[in-house]
Every structure is written in C-alpha cells, then in structure tokens.
Amino acid sequence: MSTLTKSPLRVARRALAAAAGVLPRYAHVYSPKKYTQRQLFACLVLKTFLKTDYRGLVAHLADHSDLRAALGLKAVPHFTTPQKASRRLLRVPVARRLFAATIRQFLGRRRRVRRAAFDSTGLDCGHASRYYLHRCRRGTRRRTTVYTRYAKLEVSLDCATHLLLAAFAGRGPRGDADRFVPLLDATLDHVRLGAALADAGYDSEPNHRHAREDRGVRSFIPAAIGRPTAKLPTGRYRRQMKQRLDKHYGGYGQRWQAETGFSMIKRRSATAVNGRSYWSQCRDLLLIAITYNIMLCYVVMGFLQSKKNAFSSLSALSSLWFFL
C-alpha cells in the first residue's frame, strides 16, 4: 500500500480530479481560455512526477499524444505558460486547498487516523554533485565548501499509509520545537487524530499540553532537550516521557514511518529544488508534497479495488459450488 504509481496517465487524471473542486476553469472572465487552470495544474504535477523542467515537460507533451488526450489539451503550451501559472496556482492559500483535496481523495469518507508522525527534512537548493564538493574540500588549496541554507519540508504523515496529512515549506536550518503546534493544528483540520509521534526536536512541555489538554491528542516525544542530568524533568508530561517512553509505549516505534515517507519522496520526486528565491523554493516544496499524495492515491485505491474484485469472485465461486 505504500508503493507509488509509475504511470504518468494515472497521475495526470488524478491531478485533474483533485483540481476540479478547487480551481475555477479560468483565472479571469477575459482570459484567452486556451488552457484551463486545472490543465495547467496537472502539467505542473507531471513536471514534478517526470523529474524534468518546463522545457522538458513541453517536450513530453509534444511527444506523447495519450498524455495530451488525458489532459484534454488541443495544443501543446509554450514552456512559459506553466511557469507563469505556477506563481498563481501554487500560492500558499491555493496550494493548501489543493493539498487538502488530495487528502480527501485518498481517505474518502474516512476521517480517523490512528497515528501520525511529525518530522522535517532538508532538500538541496541546487544540483552540485557530491564529487564536486569532495574535490572542493580536498583540493590543493584546501578550500571549505559549506552550504548553510537548504529548503526545509515539514510534514505530518499517517503511519499506516504514508499519506501526508500536513505540509509546510520553509528554509533551514532552524529548530522544530515551535513547529509542533502548527503541524498538529493543520493535521486536525483534515482528520481526527489519535496520537502524534515526534522526535526529540519537538520536545516541549507546552507542546504536550496543547496536544493533550487543548486538542485531545496523545503526544509522544522523547524528553531529550536540555543539559544531560540524572534528575527527572519538572513538567508533568515530559516526566512521563522520560519514565515510560520506548518503542512499544504508545506505538512510538512507528515514528520511523516518517523516514520511510521521506525516502519515498526523495527517491521518486526530488532531492533538490530548482527555485532560486525563497518563495519559488516554497512553491517547489508544496508541489512535491501534492504530487507525492497524488502518486500515492491511485496505488492504494487500486489495491482496495483488487481486493474487492477478488472477494466478489470468491463469493461467486462459493455460490456456484453450493448449487453443484
């Protein structure tokens, strides 16, 4: 169930379905009406899925008539058309609505999630090879090449299905302790959550109080922040974490599903962002998160449909044996 689809046709159709209830057909009443906003959004998703740039996207659309038919394109757009549309369609308010649509597609009527893992990861802001960096460090001049900034993706992930329930884009390095509350609130906007699992970077007594007392969610975070000491923490919930937390308590061992999700994102979507400015990098991160959910949706729905078909076939065989 945690395998991502490799079919661009399925991704294109799923992206169109996600945008249908969020984006109007055209941005303005006097727009040229050559391409709909839903088609342009699906093109952006395909660009991330195919790991290419805008010129490469246009080349794929020109070479594959089945992709154009799936998107309903009568003509291949110029490469600047999706590039300009990304600034409009991936603004934070619009991107959040599109992200929420992918969650509704995946879950259907289900709104209960047992456990969610909170974590963040960094993506490169460029494509410098590891060999180049190695040579820069070990050259004759002994130069030091250090990139102090990177694109940072903060997510809440369903431990059972690896679905992203919340995603925030930013820039690192920075601490995570003050990011727990926004991630939890964004997750609860979409689902009802039973337990929140996070690493020691989110350790804070106010985070526990907000989750348990204000939002009714059990929080499990190792009490590891601060100077090492044999004394127990003074806070009520951090003291419980210090005394009881292990991989079995509250299912905390499932927090590592977040690392599996990050591995899936970086292997199949991207390990770096192409944007140069801060906001263009944020748009790239949000598009990566949306594309990942779209890729995940189709595989799980197909798996459930195959189980349903197998069950119906088994029922038909059993009824036939009864009559024989």
pLDDT in tens, the chain (324 residues): 568 899 999 999 999 999 998 999 998 888 888 999 999 999 999 999 999 999 999 999 999 999 999 999 999 999 999 999 999 999 999 999 999 999 999 998 889 999 999 999 999 887 777 677 667 766 555 555 556 788 999 999 999 999 999 999 999 888 899 999 999 999 999 999 999 999 999 999 999 999 999 999 999 999 988 788 888 888 899 999 989 888 788 889 999 999 999 999 999 988 889 888 999 999 999 999 999 999 985 444 444 444 455 445 545 444 433 334
User: Is 142 in the same domain as 227?
Assistant: yes
User: Is 210 in the same domain as 62?
Assistant: no
User: Is 252 in the same domain as 115?
Assistant: yes
DSSP 8-state code for residue 211 = I
User: Is 223 in the same domain as 277?
Assistant: yes
Within a domain: 165: yes
User: Is 184 in the same domain as 79?
Assistant: no
Of 89, 120, 147, the last residue of a domain is 89
CA distances from 139 to 8, 128, 134, 135, 142 (A): 43, 16, 8, 5, 5
Q: Which two tokens stand for residue 8?
A: 């661009």
Identify the pLDDT of residue 140. 52
3 state SS of 242:
helix
Within a domain: 97: no
User: Is 140 in the same domain as 223?
Assistant: yes
Within a domain: 311: no
Return all residues near 23 (Cβ < 8 A) that are at least 6 apart: 37, 38, 41, 89, 94, 98
Within a domain: 219: yes
Length in residues, the chain: 324
User: Is 77 in the same domain as 118?
Assistant: no
Identify the pLDDT of residue 109. 87
CA distance 222 to 228: 13
> Domain tally for the chain?
2
Return all residues near 155 (Cβ < 8 A) that are at least 6 apart: 118, 119, 120, 121, 164, 165, 166, 167, 168, 183, 258, 261, 289
Give counts: helices (H), strands (E), the chain: 12, 5
Within a domain: 319: no
CA distances from 319 to 74, 171, 177, 294, 316 (A): 50, 60, 58, 38, 5
Q: What is the CATH number of the domain that holds 223?
A: 3.30.420
Identify the pLDDT of residue 125. 83
| Other beta carbons less than 10 A from residue 191's beta carbon | 19
3 state SS of 4:
coil
Lookup result for tokens 């308590």: 249
CA distance 256 to 26: 42
For the chain, the distance separating the N- and C-terminal CA atoms, rounded to the nearest angstrom, is 37
User: Is 154 in the same domain as 270?
Assistant: yes
Return all residues near 235 (Cβ < 8 A) that are at least 6 apart: 205, 208
Q: 129 exposed, middle or buried (CB, 10 Å; 0-12, 13-18, 19+)?
A: exposed
DSSP calls for 83-149: HHHHHHHTSHHHHHHHHHHHHHHHHTT--EEEEEEEEEEEEBSS---HHHHHHHHSSTT--------
CA distance 142 to 136: 7
Residue 56 φ/ψ, nearest 5 degrees: -65, -35
User: Is 237 in the same domain as 134?
Assistant: yes
Identify the pLDDT of residue 317. 40
User: Is 36 in the same domain as 122?
Assistant: no
Q: Which amino acid is at 139?
A: G
Burial 58-73 (b: 16+ CB within 10 A, else e): bebbeeeeebbebbeb
Burial 137-151 (b: 16+ CB within 10 A, else e): eeeeeeeeeeeeebb
Q: Is the peptide bond before 82 cis (omega within 30 degrees of 0)?
A: no
Range of the domain at 166: 109-288
Within a domain: 171: yes
Within a domain: 2: no
Within a domain: 168: yes
User: Is 63 in the same domain as 116?
Assistant: no
Q: E strands within the chain?
A: 112-123, 150-158, 164-172, 192-198, 218-220
User: Is 67 in the same domain as 166?
Assistant: no
Identify the pLDDT of residue 297. 56
Identify the pLDDT of residue 281. 92
